[in-house]
Structure 1
């Protein structure tokens, strides 16, 4: 298959992987580690990975993973995880990216995946392919010398112990797996992906320790874990170390609180750096001084329905809803037209209809609102959704909500 400017787009062959991977990491300004290369080699789905060639020169890479994403209501929906996208600086604006996205989304449709998701290195790129920003995350830099925690009763009953990360990987993965259905946006791990949590190249530690891990136990079972690094520092006033949290999961609020207390109290550390956490993380309501936590939000998962009817039918809705959407989707025209969504907390259906439209929007807005983290009301205020029947906007916006903020925690 060729692009509009003569570049050939071909499936990636295993013997081309190293060249393909080197091209990708050059495009992202680094070389990557041996550990990352080998993990990527293991999890890469070669039949869904693409290489763009200009003669014998590799000029573009892309691929997709076959994931299952939790959506409101707890269903695990087949999702194409678009990834590994790069185009040589020498071949920009020649249709390479468009051709790769065309192939990837056509393939997702053929495989019966109603959704496609990605992390965007440059968010401005992917809106034209129908992706909307559906999940957000927060980072923080907490002054643990001045910020205290007010924790729930029972925290003292949780046992927290150190463990080698590899030794307790299965226990930690069991915790993660149990959390997936309860929060929209989380991805069920595919085989091999659990190893990503153990990646620990020394070249990327920036002087910090090797990866450390603690597990939290209640009633004799693992109920949570935290993976982190420490970096010693000394200033004029004495110790000035930093803890960097890599990952934390807990099955209940008390266990989660015990893990945060541990992180706040590590000896010789005065700063806790947090990244990639849900925007509704409970610790924000337990700290004594939120201003000294320096919270920073940012976009995370970008989402688009590949099949509008199947995607909207796959989730449940917080309140009863019966609306007709007029959908625009220039890149995947099979989605264009009117769709009647009828659903509630028990289930939903979304079928084509000739009835008059109640709301008009593009597939990008449907993607942004799909997991419940972005409201249709806010998109309408931005001029992205148009109400055609009075009352339909509020009805749909409330129904699309989620009790927990969506969170795409699984990198890919």
Structure 2
């Protein structure tokens, strides 16, 4: 169950025309300017036909957080950020600056407008105490130059139920557990507590606010984003505590007189493996369904291995990088997470914006806690702020980046040693667009 807009059609901002000249003003919009800002957002996302979503945008408005580029009174670029909690390896959370609704009008590209908006927003985020900034990049080649790196992946599956009889026998169960359908009102009431428990177990997960739940359960509808009530089911243990949920839709497709329906999983939360198995068994038992599509699941989720025939699961077409991370406060970010092995690594970070630039020592104790400090010691690895962001949640590996020429090994064996240190038992994953 995703949200609306990503950091998408943007301006690479190489400054060839008038970057920083003041010919176009960059400023925060007032609350009474939300409607023209929303119109500019729709134009930027090539959705000029969409009705105004100004009422919804007013709910998102915060002083100083919706930016615009203004040329002769006309909004020609948009940018929004908001504060959110990000779970890091070990279960702690750090304050993150989430960036979305990024557009630059086709009439004003190549003028550095995105760079000016991004610089202003990141400076404000760092002043507010954000450890990192995050976004979802609609275009791969734009955001690395601002210090963002792809830190999580979305990974889904297409499962042919005619090739597998469902889950293997003998998988763990929940004694006394039960599954019941839930109304959207029940999801608004019970979903937030379940998600708050789940997100602390998943590095890369984000908090979901009240507006998220209202939108995803249909209490609030946003023009241009069709909402149809899905199916929702809750899993409870023997004591009646909610331990999992699945939200899905089913198409109505028949091959002559034979049902040939596809069930698409929109949201899946389970606090433990027995709950997950119970929910998957339920999903695979829905009448008339011949194919199950799981659009987004943790990249290391064992779902295919739970099937009677794992070959029945084939990769979803949209599997790709998803959430990007930009480290703003290196010490705060790396102190918050835990690590895979004791040791020490010194990183030389190049950052054109300056937030993460310098030489940093990450020292890990035997209990997996770490401390990150500035140092003058010789560096083991050299990398950019973008690669630092890619490595932060453990979703990328040092040896792979080194093999690609994106990390430079300054001490023989440093890449392998750093990989052991940064390794996480669970791959970073964020199921939510924003």
TM-score greater than 0.5 by the shorter chain:
yes
Q: How does 1:40-79 map to 2 (within 5 A)?
A: 40-79=57-96
Q: Quick one: structure 1 residues 39 and 284, their matched pair in 2 at CA, closer, same or farther if it must change by over 3 Å?
A: farther
Higher mean Cα deviation, 122-131 or 5-14?
5-14
RMSD of aligned C-alpha atoms?
Answer: 2.3
Equivalent-residue separation in structure 2 for 1:262 and 1:36 (angstroms) = 37
Shift of 1:229: 1.2
Q: Which moved more, 1:373-382 or 1:212-221?
A: 212-221
Q: In structure 2, what is the equivalent of residue 89 of structure 1?
A: 106
Over 6 Å off, 4+ runs: 32-36, 202-206
**Over residues 146-194 of structure 1, what are the superposed CA-to-partner deviations in whole Å (9 max), with x where a residue is unaligned?**
3221151325743111111222322122111101111111112344333
Task: Name the residue aligned to 1:162.
Answer: 181
2:386 is the counterpart of 1:364 = yes
- Compare 351-360 and 155-164 and name the one that shifted more: 155-164
Distance 1:141 1:209, change over 3 A: farther
Quick one: structure 1 residues 126 and 334, their matched pair in 2 at CA, closer, same or farther if it must change by over 3 Å?
closer
Is 1:243 matched up with 2:263? yes
When structure 1 is superposed on structure 2, of 22-31 and 213-222 the one drifting more is 22-31
- Point out where structure 1 has 5 or more consecutive residues left out of the alignment: none
- Partner Cα distance (2:261, 2:54) in 1: 31
Structure 1 equivalent of residue 207 of structure 2: 188
Contact 2:53–2:223, Cα closer than 8 Å, also in 1 = no
Deviates more, 1:78-87 or 1:39-48: 39-48
**CA displacement at 1:251 relative to structure 2:** 1.3
Gap regions ≥5 residues in structure 2: 1-18
TM value normalised by structure 1? 0.93
**Higher relative helix content:** 1
Cα gap change, 1:213 to 1:59, in 2 (>3 Å): same
Structure 2 equivalent of residue 340 of structure 1? 361
Residue 404 (structure 1) aligned with residue 426 (structure 2): yes
1:124 maps to what in 2?
141
CA gap 1:255/1:116 in 2 versus in 1, 3 angstroms = same
TM-score scaled to structure 2, two decimals? 0.88
Q: Displacement, 1:142?
A: 1.8
| 8 Å Cα contact 1:33/1:201 also seen in 2 | no
Partner of 1:310: 332
- Tell me the residue number matched to 1:217: 236
The 5 A counterparts of 1:129-278 are 129-147=146-164, 148-150=166-168, 152-154=171-173, 157-199=176-218, 210-219=229-238, 220-236=240-256, 238-278=258-298
Q: Which moved more, 1:31-40 or 1:109-118?
A: 31-40
1:189 aligns to what SS in structure 2? coil
How many residues align? The count is 409
SS in 1 for 2:429: coil
Q: 1:174 to 1:146 in 2, by over 3 A?
A: same
Q: Partners in 1 of 2:314 and 2:272 — Cα distance?
A: 26
